[in-house]
């Protein structure tokens, strides 16, 4: 698209050309925001409109005259306008404070969890080296499918699943024994 028509129309205050150009540019900006920024259609419309208002003002003030730079300016400005929308959504409204201003104390749960993690670490250190490496890999990659782990260790899927559950059972028994001491 030739953005010089838009710049010229704004400078000449040619409303019919501006209207035609705005429709095209708005569609481009909305598509950019929805596809690249994952913005909702409504947010993209608002941001595109704000961007065009800002751009028109810049053109009228002779701050934005180079048509080739206009599209980059429009994309950048629309992206920043969308960031403003996102940040406003995250702001806390302090006028509507909840009745309870703090959460329940969870120090006891954290202490128990910390103790369990310490026991788990001790039990893992007691494992054979190959078992420890195997289960550490699972802990580092909890979302992996069994087939991925099986490929990594060059074993069958059934062996990977069985080995994982055997090690977990050994760790569970170890932790229970240490926890009862």
Q: Over the stretch 38-47, which tens digit does the pLDDT of each residue have?
A: 999 999 999 9
Nearest to 28 by CA among 7, 1, 66, 10: 1
How far is C-alpha 162 from the chain's CA centre? 35
DSSP run (H or E) holding 10: helix 4-12
Answer yes or no: are the C-beta atoms of 150 and 157 closer than 8 Å: yes
The domain of 45 spans 4-91
Q: Judge whether 99 lies within some domain.
A: no
Q: Over the stretch 77-114, which tens digit does the pLDDT of each residue have?
A: 999 998 988 887 666 555 655 555 555 566 767 777 78
Q: Judge whether 101 lies within some domain.
A: no
10 Å CB burial of residue 32 (0-12, 13-18, 19+) is: buried
10 Å CB burial of residue 10 (0-12, 13-18, 19+) is: buried
The confidence band for 115, taking pLDDT boundaries of 50, 70 and 90, is confident
Whether residue 83 is found in the same domain as residue 137 = no
Q: Residue 155 sits in a domain of what CATH number?
A: 1.10.10
Q: Judge whether 78 lies within some domain.
A: yes
Q: Over the stretch 136-167, which tens digit does the pLDDT of each residue have?
A: 888 888 888 888 889 999 999 899 999 999 99
Domain count for the chain: 2
Q: Judge whether 110 lies within some domain.
A: no
Whether residue 17 is found in the same domain as residue 59 = yes
């Amino acid at each position: 698209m030739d953005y010089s028509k838009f710049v010229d129309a704004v400078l000449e205050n040619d409303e019919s050309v501006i209207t035609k150009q705005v429709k095209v540019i708005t569609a481009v900006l909305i598509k950019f925001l929805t596809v690249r920024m994952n913005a909702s259609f409504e947010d993209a419309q608002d941001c595109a409109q704000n961007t065009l208002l800002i751009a028109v003002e810049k053109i009228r003030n002779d701050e934005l005259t180079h048509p080739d730079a206009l599209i980059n300016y429009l994309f950048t400005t629309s992206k920043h306008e969308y960031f403003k929308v996102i940040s406003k959504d995250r702001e806390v409204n302090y006028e509507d404070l909840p009745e309870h201003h703090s959460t329940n104390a969870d120090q006891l749960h954290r202490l128990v969890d910390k103790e369990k993690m310490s026991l788990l670490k001790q039990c893992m250190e007691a494992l054979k080296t190959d078992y420890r490496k195997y289960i550490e890999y699972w802990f580092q990659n909890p979302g992996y499918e069994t087939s991925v782990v099986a490929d990594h260790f060059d074993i069958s899927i059934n062996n990977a699943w069985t080995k994982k559950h055997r090690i977990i059972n050994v760790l569970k028994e170890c932790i229970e024994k240490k926890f009862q001491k």
